[in-house]
């Protein structure tokens, strides 16, 4: 995927859009479903200085508890106060800054390393900061906030009274006999300019004193968010446990027959029984009040939603139902206690009108809150498990074997040392042996090995690594040993890339998520309306006059109101919009993890939704359908006044040796292909004569140099084929180049004006290309090829892999590629001329009569494919793509195999199926639960059990979504 992190919010994009714009990432704790995500977005948008929409608009992620946004630093001076505090005040969600890019800084300074520096008491920390800033390549040094370990209440009390630790950062050096302070610093530096080992050595060489420097782990934003999530879960678990401990005694009092018999009847004048009744009722009141206090955060959030954000959400329904049950119980508790106390004081039974008594239902409000807290604990735990289930960090080794010799040439007895991977430089030579794992991306310079890349690329077959092969970080050596040169440092290697791409979704959410949010937005007020209708409906029903022979007797007003309120409370508590809201994000996050296991990085969640409707597959040729590695397919040499292609001829071998000396040191793909072909019979580059270093490359033309007594030029025919060449033969040229559509490389002797050799190069078609195209066609997907190469070359490749000639377009510019995709999306062939010649009003008019939009998947890898990747409904890049192409793509294939396209489509189909199952379950549950709670079906649900609705509705959503984890993708 190359450095596709450029597609993520970064310092570059901030600087390019305006010096005052800054990117910030927030960790948000307290969201229970995607309705909370909507509340969060609304609260952030109301902060002055926030960019609300567009490419730099607000991006929230409920499952990961993240919010990514851009703000104007000229307006917002202190993000912690202006953003975090405001959001917490309006929503109740705890916000923490995970990342702040410091706007306007150069992209070079993108590496941060954390160090603990120990210094004597006579040295100020500011002096160390000033000293470090003098080093070239250092951009900034900040004091790092050290997270203190969690301590129990008892240890806090002991520390407070005993004062064991006077200064947390003060130690004592026994050898030197002096006090030493230690401080954490985060140093931002340019790895291209400054090597981290040199940085450590520079700090240790502080004038007059020796500083101690130790590396510390630098937590990533997702790690901080995960830690905060665990803290929140522990807090929620504590509240749930306390609520359970307070609720159980209420249930024992209410449900135990032996205890209930001690509650006196209305006419019972037993003083002992009356006192017991008052004591039990008071105990239930106190316990239920304690449970109410544990649910106080729900009530506060409901108040904020209703009055500050003007939104009606699930917290409002929960608040209404639990408070209604509690206030109902409180009212009847007061009436009952007043009556029983009057009986004790007067010694007289109440009159006939006062004999009807209604028991308080403290167990309803207490059990409601307890079950709701338990349901949210279950939801939070499963969400945390789903988000952190696959840890990419486990693939990253902490140490490696580094060569202390700097040369890249093969050395028989290299000396190695164990090194911390955070101290690696570009170009370090590393060693991986059987059973070990490659610590970072690199290129093999010596040795051979069989390596397993399945955990990264999804390819089950091991890969053979030879000299020149690229190694992916995290690949495991099965057999052999390789020495490789590090091309990327740890913060930017494939493992870090995958981790950051998975944890940061830059694309728009799928339409199904928007549909779910709309349904949830309507369901909450609908439930409230249904509860009100049920309240008055049952009240009228119970108060309506009917014959005594009927099934229900007439009830007095208090009894009718009690039963009607109970039904309304049950309806409010049992509905669960969260199940609908979670139907999409749960499947998406599991699908993302499955994609990583199969070598697919999904950047835009909407691509999974569109994948089920793909009707056209469009691919670039070079680097996608082909390997992008040129090979010599044919060659002829001018020997003794005739053209010869026999490589065993001694005269031919002499000419080959001269040409090899010309191209051996050049890195152009064409020259490298010729060099690789001739290298099979001739010496390695290290044995080339020194005089051959006079060779020079002419950009855009070829190579020129003096080899022996010859003045050789090799390159494009337009540069080397001049008039007056003595041996130019059109038939030979056509035979090698034009008739078979090959890339030419012609070598001439400029002194003698003769052609020395003609090479015809061809690209290698990927071995799986024909099979993938056939499989796509079986799925009724039309396959197309768009390329900037000559049409003859494109058609030859298309014929070999099974693409119809009518669907092949050559010599396409980037704009033409994008326009071709637009034509496929609209299926209007005349659009190309219309879009170029007609006005936008006429074009809009024609669009009303078009066929429906047809989804197009485009596979590309080059910078010239960026426009096509953006225009396509799903833009996919290969592992060897450029940075710009990766930034425009919706998904990336980490492996070098085209089967990743089939894996993406299969994953998309499976994900959408599970989302539909989740939707079906969530809607059926809410519809059925509300009908039953309303009493329409003849069944009823006691209000105290309605709180279990959240757990019952949400748990199956996660179970259905997790199915995708256990089923292997077959394509």
Local mean pLDDT, 10-residue blocks, the chain (971 residues): 37 47 84 78 87 76 81 86 87 82 50 85 84 87 67 47 42 54 85 88 85 81 76 89 92 74 60 77 90 89 83 81 84 79 72 56 83 82 71 74 79 84 90 90 89 69 82 87 90 77 58 80 86 88 66 65 84 81 83 82 84 91 80 86 81 88 80 83 53 69 84 84 79 77 83 88 85 93 85 84 90 84 72 54 58 83 80 84 72 82 92 91 88 83 74 84 82 69
Contact 379, 948 (CB under 8 A): no
Q: Domain end: 471, 492, 513, which one?
A: 492
In a domain, 555, yes or no: no
Look at residues 589, 587, 582 and name the one whose alpha carbon lies nearest to residue 923: 582
Cα separation, 903 vs 598, whole angstroms = 7
Pairing of strands 891-893, 600-602: antiparallel
Q: Do 341 and 260 fall into the same domain?
A: yes
Number of domains observed in the structure of the chain: 7
Q: Do 362 and 434 fall into the same domain?
A: no
Look at residues 233, 278, 229 and name the one whose alpha carbon lies nearest to residue 98: 229
CB atoms within 10 A of CB 799: 12
CB atoms within 10 A of CB 16: 12
Q: Domain end: 492, 523, 542, which one?
A: 492
Cα separation, 617 vs 321, whole angstroms = 53
Which CATH number does the domain housing residue 76 bear?
Answer: 3.30.70.100
Provide the sign of the torsion angle of the four alpha carbons 639, 645, 651, 652, taken in this order.
positive
Q: Do 124 and 78 fall into the same domain?
A: no
Cα separation, 419 vs 383, whole angstroms = 37
In a domain, 525, yes or no: no
Total-model pTM? 0.70
In a domain, 161, yes or no: no
Q: Do 798 and 758 fall into the same domain?
A: no
Cα separation, 161 vs 176, whole angstroms = 31
The two most distant CA atoms of the chain are separated, in Å, by 137
Cα separation, 607 vs 293, whole angstroms = 45
Cα separation, 719 vs 701, whole angstroms = 6
pLDDT of residue 503: 59
Cα separation, 864 vs 861, whole angstroms = 8
Look at residues 528, 519, 515, 514 and name the one whose alpha carbon lies nearest to residue 312: 528
Cα separation, 148 vs 168, whole angstroms = 10
CA 96, 101, 105: angle at the middle one, nearest 5?
A: 165
Q: Do 893 and 839 fall into the same domain?
A: yes
Which CATH number does the domain housing residue 882 bear?
Answer: 3.40.50.1000
User: What angle in degrees, to the nearest 10, is found between the helix axes of 125-133 and 196-204?
Assistant: 140
Look at residues 771, 800, 775 and name the one whose alpha carbon lies nearest to residue 785: 800
Cα 461 to the chain's mean position, in Å?
27
First to last CA, the chain: 22
Q: H or E segment at 731?
A: helix 730-733
In a domain, 546, yes or no: no
Q: Do 797 and 860 fall into the same domain?
A: yes
pLDDT of residue 165: 37
Q: Do 850 and 887 fall into the same domain?
A: yes
Contact 132, 139 (CB under 8 A): no
Q: Do 728 and 661 fall into the same domain?
A: yes
Q: What is the DSSP letter of 47?
A: S
In a domain, 593, yes or no: no
Cβ neighbors of 233 (< 8 A, separation 6 or more) are: 377, 380, 381, 384
Cα separation, 606 vs 624, whole angstroms = 23
Q: Do 841 and 861 fall into the same domain?
A: yes
pLDDT of residue 741: 65
pLDDT of residue 17: 46
Cβ neighbors of 635 (< 8 A, separation 6 or more) are: 645, 677, 736, 757, 758, 759, 760
In a domain, 567, yes or no: no
Cα separation, 458 vs 258, whole angstroms = 64
pLDDT of residue 906: 92
3-state secondary structure 427-493: CCEEEEECCCECCCCEEEEEEEEEEECHHHHCCCCCEEECCCCEECCCCEEEEEEEEEEECCCHHHC
User: What's the chain's length in residues?
Assistant: 971
Q: Which residues are bridge partners to 71 per DSSP?
A: 22, 50
Contact 542, 562 (CB under 8 A): no
pLDDT of residue 898: 87
Which CATH number does the domain housing residue 426 bear?
Answer: 2.70.150.10
Q: Domain end: 100, 120, 138, which one?
A: 100
> CA-CA distances (angstroms) from residue 431 to 422, 427, 435, 438?
16, 13, 12, 8
In a domain, 540, yes or no: no
Q: Do 811 and 932 fall into the same domain?
A: no
Q: Which residues are bridge partners to 757 per DSSP?
A: 637, 747
CA 186, 496, 193: angle at the middle one, nearest 5?
A: 50
Q: Do 199 and 228 fall into the same domain?
A: no
pLDDT of residue 905: 92
Q: Do 639 and 720 fall into the same domain?
A: yes
Full residue range of the structural domain in which residue 705 is found? 627-764
Which CATH number does the domain housing residue 123 bear?
Answer: 3.30.70.60
Phi, psi of 697 (to 5 degrees): -95, 135
In a domain, 424, yes or no: yes
């Amino acid at each position: 995927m190359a450095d596709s992190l450029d597609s993520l919010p970064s310092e570059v994009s901030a600087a390019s859009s305006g010096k005052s714009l800054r990117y910030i990432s927030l960790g948000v704790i307290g969201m229970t479903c995607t309705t909370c995500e909507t509340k969060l977005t609304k609260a952030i948008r109301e902060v002055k200085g926030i960019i609300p929409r567009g490419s730099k608009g607000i991006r929230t992620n409920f499952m990961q508890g993240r919010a990514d946004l851009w703000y104007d630093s000229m307006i917002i001076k202190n993000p912690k106060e202006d953003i975090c505090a405001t959001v917490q005040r309006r929503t109740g969600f705890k916000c923490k800054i995970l990342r702040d890019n410091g706007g306007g800084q150069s992209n070079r300074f993108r590496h941060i390393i954390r160090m603990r520096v120990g210094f004597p008491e006579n040295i100020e920390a500011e002096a160390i900061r000033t000293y470090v800033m003098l080093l070239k390549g250092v951009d900034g040094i900040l004091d790092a906030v050290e997270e203190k370990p969690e301590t129990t209440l008892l240890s806090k009390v002991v520390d407070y009274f005993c004062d064991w630790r006077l200064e947390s950062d003060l130690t004592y050096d026994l050898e030197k006999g002096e006090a030493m302070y230690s401080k954490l610093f985060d140093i931002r530096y340019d790895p291209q300019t400054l090597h981290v080992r040199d940085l450590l050595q520079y700090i240790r060489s502080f004038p007059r004193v020796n500083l101690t420097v130790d590396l510390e782990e630098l937590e990533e934003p997702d790690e901080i968010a995960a830690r905060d999530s665990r803290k929140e879960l522990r807090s929620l678990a504590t509240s749930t446990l306390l609520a359970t401990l307070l609720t159980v005694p209420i249930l024992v009092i209410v449900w135990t027959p032996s205890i209930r018999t001690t509650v006196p009847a209305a006419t019972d004048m037993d003083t002992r029984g009356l006192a017991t009744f008052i004591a039990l009722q008071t105990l239930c009141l106190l316990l239920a009040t304690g449970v109410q206090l544990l649910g106080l955060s729900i009530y506060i959030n409901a108040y904020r939603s209703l009055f500050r954000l003007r939104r009606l959400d699930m917290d409002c329904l929960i608040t209404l139902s639990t408070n209604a049950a509690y206030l109902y119980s409180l009212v009847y508790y007061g009436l009952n206690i007043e009556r029983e106390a009057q009986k004790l004081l007067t010694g007289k039974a109440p009159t006939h009108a006062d004999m009807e008594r209604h028991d308080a239902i403290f167990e309803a409000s207490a059990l409601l809150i307890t079950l709701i807290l338990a349901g949210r604990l279950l939801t939070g735990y499963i969400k945390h498990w789903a988000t952190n289930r696959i840890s990419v960090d486990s693939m990253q080794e902490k140490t490696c074997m580094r060569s202390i010799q700097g040369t890249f040439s093969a050395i028989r007895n290299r000396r190695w040392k164990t090194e911390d991977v955070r101290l690696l430089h570009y170009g370090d030579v590393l060693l991986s042996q059987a059973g070990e794992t490659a610590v970072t991306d690199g290129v093999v310079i010596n040795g051979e090995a069989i390596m397993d890349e399945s955990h990264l690329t999804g390819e089950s077959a091991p890969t053979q690594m030879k000299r020149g092969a690229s190694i992916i970080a995290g690949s495991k050596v099965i057999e052999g040993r390789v020495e490789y040169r590090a091309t990327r440092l740890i913060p930017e290697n494939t493992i870090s890339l995958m981790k950051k791409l998975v944890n940061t979704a830059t694309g728009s959410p799928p339409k199904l998520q928007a549909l779910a949010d709309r349904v949830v937005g309507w369901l909450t007020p609908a439930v409230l309306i249904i509860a009100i209708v049920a309240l008055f409906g049952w009240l009228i029903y119970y108060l309506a006059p009917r014959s005594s022979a009927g099934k229900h007797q007439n009830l007095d007003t208090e009894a009718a109101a009690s039963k009607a309120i109970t039904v309304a409370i049950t309806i409010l508590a049992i509905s669960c919009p969260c199940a609908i809201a979670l139907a999409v994000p749960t499947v998406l996050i599991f699908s993302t993890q499955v994609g990583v296991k199969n070598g697919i990085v999904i950047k835009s969640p909407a691509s999974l939704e569109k994948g089920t409707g793909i009707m056209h597959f469009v691919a670039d040729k070079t680097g996608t359908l082909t390997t992008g590695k040129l090979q010599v397919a044919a060659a002829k040499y001018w020997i003794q006044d005739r053209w010869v292609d026999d490589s065993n001829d001694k005269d031919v071998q002499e000419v080959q040796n001269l040409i090899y000396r010309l191209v051996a040191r050049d890195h152009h793909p064409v020259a490298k292909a010729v060099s690789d072909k001739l290298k099979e019979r001739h010496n390695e580059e290290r044995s080339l004569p020194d005089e051959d270093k006079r060779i020079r490359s002419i950009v855009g033309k070829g190579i020129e140099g003096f080899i022996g007594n010859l003045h050789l030029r090799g390159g494009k025919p337009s540069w080397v084929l001049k008039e007056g060449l003595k041996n130019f033969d059109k038939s030979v040229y056509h035979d090698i180049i034009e008739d078979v559509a090959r890339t030419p490389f012609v070598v001439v002797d400029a002194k003698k004006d003769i052609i020395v050799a003609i090479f015809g190069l061809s690209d290698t078609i990927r071995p799986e290309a024909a099979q993938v195209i056939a499989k796509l066609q079986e799925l009724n997907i039309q396959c197309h090829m768009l390329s900037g190469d000559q049409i003859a070359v494109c058609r030859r490749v298309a014929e070999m892999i099974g693409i119809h000639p009518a669907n092949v377009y050559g010599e396409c510019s980037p704009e033409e590629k994008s326009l071709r995709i637009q034509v496929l999306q609209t299926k209007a062939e005349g659009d190309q001329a219309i879009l170029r010649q007609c006005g936008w009003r006429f074009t809009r008019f024609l669009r009303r009569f078009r066929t429906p939009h047809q989804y197009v998947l485009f596979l590309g890898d080059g910078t010239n494919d960026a426009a096509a990747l953006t225009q396509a409904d799903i833009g996919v890049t290969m592992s060897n793509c450029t940075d710009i192409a990766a930034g425009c793509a919706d998904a990336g294939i980490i492996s070098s195999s085209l089967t990743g396209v089939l894996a993406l489509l299969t994953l998309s189909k499976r994900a959408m199926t599970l989302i539909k199952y989740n939707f079906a379950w969530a809607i059926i549950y809410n519809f059925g639960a509300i009908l039953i709670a309303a009493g329409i079906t003849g069944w009823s649900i006691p209000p105290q059990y309605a709180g279990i609705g959240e757990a019952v509705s949400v748990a199956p959503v996660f179970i259905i979504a997790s199915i995708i984890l256990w089923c292997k993708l077959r394509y």
